[in-house]
A and B are shown apart, each in its own frame.
Chain A
Amino acid sequence: MIKASLLEIIKSKWFSGQKKRMTKHLNERFQSKLDRLEEVEIPSALADSLTKVKDVLKTSNDLVIREFYLGRHLPSRAAVLFIDGLSDSRVTDEFILKAGMFDTSLEALRTDNGGEQNLEQLEDDLRRLGIPINELEVASSLKEVVYAALTGDAAVLIDGVPRALTLNTKGWVQRGIEEPSTESVVRGPRDSFTETIRTNTAMIRRRLRDPNLCVESMTVGRRSVTDIAVMYLEDVADPKLVEQVKQRINGIDIDAVLESGFIEQFIEDHHISPFPMIQNTERPDKAVANILEGRVIIVSDGTPFVLIAPAVFAQFYQSPEDYYERFLIGTLIRLIRIISMGMALLLPSLYIAFSSFHPEMIPSRLVIAMAAGRSTVPFPSIIEAFLMEVTMEILREASVRLPGPIGPTIGIVGALVVGQAAVQAGIVSPIMVIIVALTTIGSFASPSYSAAIALRMLRFPMMIAASLFGLYGIMLLMIFIIVHLCTLKSFGVPYLSPMTPMNLNANKDTFIRAPLQWMFKRPEPFQPQDSIRVGDTSVEVDKEGESNNATQGSKQPEPS
């Protein structure tokens, strides 16, 4: 038995280092209805087309089919179909029905029966019908018609013409531009992305009026057919990176993409690691800043969170706010964030380690006070810590769903009351309450939610390690975490750049935030093509001039 399992181990490919085989391709994969429609042509007869469409769309009571007579003089029967709610009925009424009925003429289409119909000519003629809509396509298959309707466009079917027109009439109700809910700053823009992809790409465009900004569209999801836009600066981003991203997105085979998180989970490098390999943000200014550094943005319809690839560890504590204030303040605040990150991860474990294993490290007076505080507690400190931490997590999770104004209040009051009551009842020691409070607050200091979760999670194994081996256990687990971080690569970029592999230039922006005048090169780990950022051509304010003016009062300023 042992021999067999040993043999298995030896033969295993993981040990012998072979690459993973490509997963088998399911031939009998479920083919979506929509795909099957690709080959179906639009029948010339209007009635036939309509029947076919109604067939496909089954019981869709919100599908509006309006038959009308197209053309002013010799009108043909036509029908416009669209989905109520997705299409703007004002547009369909004004620009399709009205224009179609009163402003177009069908002379060019006098082909009717008989003879070969020059399809190209036909399509050309169709385009020349005077329908004043900015996006107009000629559809040749039923799939395009159905797809158009489902996306919010309108399709116009004309009797006797084996083609249809699809026109852009999208107009659904959407949320207005509001403040970002998860990433607020003190100073900086207050707009955040919304759920419509076009609004989001526009917000990015507004901030980056560079002709090199590319917006590549694709769709993901068999049933949801969600629009995705991949944005990057063509002359800055590494083409290999862009290629990778697009390839991975194309490889996603899923029913529906409800949130960018789905995409994130499919294209990220290391699924098992608690650390996020791809950033996400609600803020356009953060997205633009990342584009400028050579990263790739993935905007997905239906969610305000856009993805930023690749991601590195620095995302945990960098916030766009750092750059809007002056550099000293930015640096200090960043340091505070780093300290609070450390606190959030280590504080409970340090408490356990010190009080149970190394009390000699605590100043004598504190030891006696701690012993006094703990004298009534029936649990060992690890259980006490776990109890309080888990309670805190429950409170936190619950407070997300508490309604409106009561929410934060209950959160705070709950924590205080629970903590105080627990101390009075003698279940926990007062020091524990302080530690838990500090830990929780510390974990909020990280500007990136998904990154902060990683640390929150790691707190618990850390506590276990501390309870087993004290300070040695904590160090051991830290070493494991550091090694793990070193193995992570996000789209080919080592996760811990620019700390290792060490890159002094990019380090101007890790722990400290160097003055903007110093950051004239883009961070190298992303291998941007165009490295120069802020040029040396920016002019230093002539400070001499200022002070001279101050002292000389009314004297005429020197001609410069």
Chain B
Amino acid sequence: MPRKDQNNPSPPRAADRGGDKGTKGDASNIAQTSEGSVISERQSASMIASTMIGVGVITLPRVAVSSSNQTGWIGIVVGALVAMGLTWIITRLGIRFRGQSIALYAAELMAPTRRLLWLGKLLALPFLLMLLVYWGWASALVARMFGEMVSTTMLPTTPVEVIILTMLVAGFYLTMYAVEVLARVNEIMLPLIVIPILIIAVSSFQSGRLENLFPIFDMDWKMFFMSSTIMTASLLGYEVMLLFSAHAKSSPKLVKSNVFSISISGFLYVLIAIAGISVFGYEELKLLAWPTLELVKTTEVPGLVLERMESAFLAVWVTAVFTTLGNYYYATALLLKQILHLKSHRLISLLLLPAMYWISLRPNNLQQLFQTQTRIGWLGMAGALVLPLFFGLLGKLRGKTPLESSTAKDASKGEGADG
């Protein structure tokens, strides 16, 4: 029979009920602000990979052969290597400036002395703005391309605007939470993206013809260069780590896992390109608007109940696009918040929503859309190539920046002050 408690001899006193109602609410609040989120190595790698694998997957084979015919996939390998190198630089920068994103350490690196930090901020601003424009524009573009695709193939009478809006709202929903949540979402969605694409790529090989891929090295330097540049532009996505590496756990494994994630996306892209080229041949490929989709259409997975797999593929692809869009959207909001030194990025997110919607509707037709895609690719190359190289070099040359020497001040100067 229950014994009168030694621990709590009397029924609860009035004094015990000291305003504790707030404590249970705290738990849910702790991780709501973006500061203080910690991302594991795996999550960091997943973020890179899932940002890279996005809307471009659908047009990839065509883009690959556009300049170098059947050898297009080699450009992807080159692009992937370049991406790996840049990611290495970005990660090292992130490790060195522990806890600070590019918005902060760019200023540090540009400032000649500690007094002139404001000068550094000023000098760094154009770089950051370029990054900002690129990311914002990229998310709008991703939404639009996605909308066009879905509208053409899956939901013909649904207005493109609605599809774009729903996708943007989904991305917006993601930005309402901490970076931690973003990392988790990426981590859990990556296998959902990679595995179906692998299955499709591999099963489409059965209808492929080997001779479509040959001759392999039949290209001149000009073609090679063009193809590599174009493919490097298609392999963008890792530059978001400029921002998010601030939250990553600094560990020696980080560099390895980040670089490895590039190899995953690179490998996937190469596989798809090869599949596309071998099944269609480069001549037909150049005529197809959405080649990967056509690839899925011609693939028959034996024994499966469903016949046309492309709707299922599109469902999976929605996930890939969502991660890309969400990451870019978040990066834009977060970067803007850090430039403007605001408390939280949520309001910015909300304001960005109509802005991105409007931007995404700017191109009037498909042709203009692809043109915009190319332009953004160039902007992104500038951001993803130039920035890391520039700041990496700067970092090497400068040795210790004046701010780094006073590390104690750094810890509080960084993200701790906000939220």
Contact = CB atoms under 8 A, between A and B. Distances in A.
A–B direct touch, CB within 8 Å, in complex? yes
Interface of A: 9-10, 14-23, 25, 29, 31, 34-35, 38, 134-135, 137, 143-144, 147-148, 151-153, 166, 168-171, 197-198, 216-220, 225, 227, 244, 247-248, 250-251, 253, 266-267, 269-270, 301, 357-358, 360-364, 469-472, 474-476, 479-480, 482-483, 486-487, 489, 491-492, 494, 496, 499-502
A362 B307 contact: yes
Interface string B178-191: 00010111011100
Contacts of B185: 482-483, 486, 500
A482 B188 contact: yes
B219 to A, nearest CB: 39
Interface string B400-419: 00000000000000000011
Contact of A22 (B22, B177, B312, B343): B22
Contacts of B418: 17
Contacts of A34: 11
Interface residues of B, number: 70
Interface in B1-56: 1-5, 7-14, 16-33, 40, 42-43
B312 A469 contact: no
Contacts of A148: 4
Given A361-B311, A483-B185, A502-B187, A489 B28 contact: yes
Contacts of A38: 10, 13
Contact of A147 (B11, B22, B187, B314): B11
Contacts of A135: 1, 3-4
A219 B8 contact: yes
B21 to A, nearest CB: 5
Given A143-B11, A152-B1, 17 more contacts: A15-B344, A135-B4, A147-B11, A168-B2, A217-B5, A218-B8, A248-B20, A248-B24, A251-B23, A267-B24, A358-B311, A361-B306, A469-B155, A479-B322, A482-B185, A483-B177, A486-B188
A198 B188 contact: no
Contacts of A29: 17
Contacts of B346: 14-15, 17
A23 B189 contact: no
Contacts of A489: 27-28, 31
A153 B181 CA distance: 52
Interface stretch (B93-101, B166-174, B359-367, B384-392): B166-174
Given A17-B344, A479-B319, A491-B27, A502 B40 contact: yes
Contacts of A169: 1
23 contacts: A14-B346, A17-B419, A18-B343, A20-B25, A147-B11, A151-B2, A168-B1, A198-B1, A198-B2, A225-B12, A250-B17, A251-B23, A251-B24, A253-B17, A253-B21, A269-B24, A270-B28, A361-B312, A483-B185, A487-B177, A491-B27, A492-B27, A496-B188
Contacts of B177: 483, 486-487
Nearest to B307: A363
Nearest 10 Cβ contacts at the A-B interface:
A17-B344, A251-B20, A22-B22, A170-B1, A25-B19, A500-B187, A486-B184, A475-B318, A500-B184, A248-B24
B129 interface: no
Interface centre among A17, A217, A482 (most CB of B within 10 A): A17
A501 B37 CA distance: 12
Nearest to B318: A475
Contacts of B312: 361, 471
B10 A144 contact: yes
Q: Name the residue in B9, B25, B173, B183 with the highest tally of chain A Cβ atoms < 10 Å from its Cβ.
A: B25
B339 interface: no
A132 to B, nearest CB: 15
Contacts of B21: 22-23, 251, 253
A216 B8 CA distance: 9
A244 to B, nearest CB: 7
Given A16-B347, A217-B5, A472-B314, A247 B306 contact: no
Given A10-B347, A17-B419, A250-B20, A269 B28 contact: yes
B188 A480 contact: no
Contacts of A171: 1
B27 A244 contact: yes
Contacts of B226: none
B223 interface: no
Contacts of A225: 11-12
Chain A CB count within 10 A is highest, among B40, B188, B319, for B188
B305 interface: yes
Secondary structure type dominating chain A contacts: mixed
Given A15-B347, A475-B315, A486-B181, A501 B40 contact: yes
A307 B342 CA distance: 41
B22 to A, nearest CB: 3
A64 to B, nearest CB: 18
Interface string B138-169: 00000000000010001100100001001100
B contacts with A: majority SS: helix
Nearest to A144: B10
A482 B193 CA distance: 14
B184 A35 contact: no
Contacts of B150: 472
Interface of B: 1-5, 7-14, 16-33, 40, 42-43, 150, 154-155, 158, 163, 166-167, 170, 173-174, 177, 181, 183-185, 187-189, 305-308, 311-312, 314-315, 318-319, 322, 343-344, 346-347, 350, 418-419
Given A168-B3, A486-B188, A17 B33 contact: yes
B170 A479 contact: yes
A170 B2 contact: yes
Contact of A23 (B11, B22, B306, B308): B22
Nearest to B419: A17
Given A31-B14, A501-B187, A502-B187, A480 B173 contact: yes
Contacts of B308: 358, 360-361
Contacts of B307: 360-364
Contact of B22 (A20, A486, A487): A20
Contacts of B311: 358, 360-361, 471
A269 B25 CA distance: 7
Contacts of A10: 347
Contact of B319 (A152, A475, A501): A475
Nearest to A198: B2
Contacts of B27: 244, 269, 489, 491-492
Contacts of A25: 18-19
Given A475-B319, A480-B173, A500 B24 contact: no
Contacts of A301: 2
A483 B173 contact: yes
Contact of A168 (B4, B166, B167): B4
A20 B25 CA distance: 8
Contact of B155 (A269, A470, A491): A470
Contacts of A35: 13-14
Given A166-B4, A266-B24, A471-B314, A250 B11 contact: no
A542 to B, nearest CB: 40
Given A168-B4, A171-B1, A476-B166, A22 B19 contact: yes
Find the residue from B32, B184, B318 having the highest chain A CB count within 10 A: B184
B348 to A, nearest CB: 9
Nearest to A87: B1
B154 to A, nearest CB: 6
A137 B4 contact: yes
Contacts of B30: 492
Which of A170, A220, A469, A491 has the largest count of B CB atoms less than 10 A from its CB?
A469
Given A476-B318, A482-B185, A502-B187, A217 B7 contact: yes
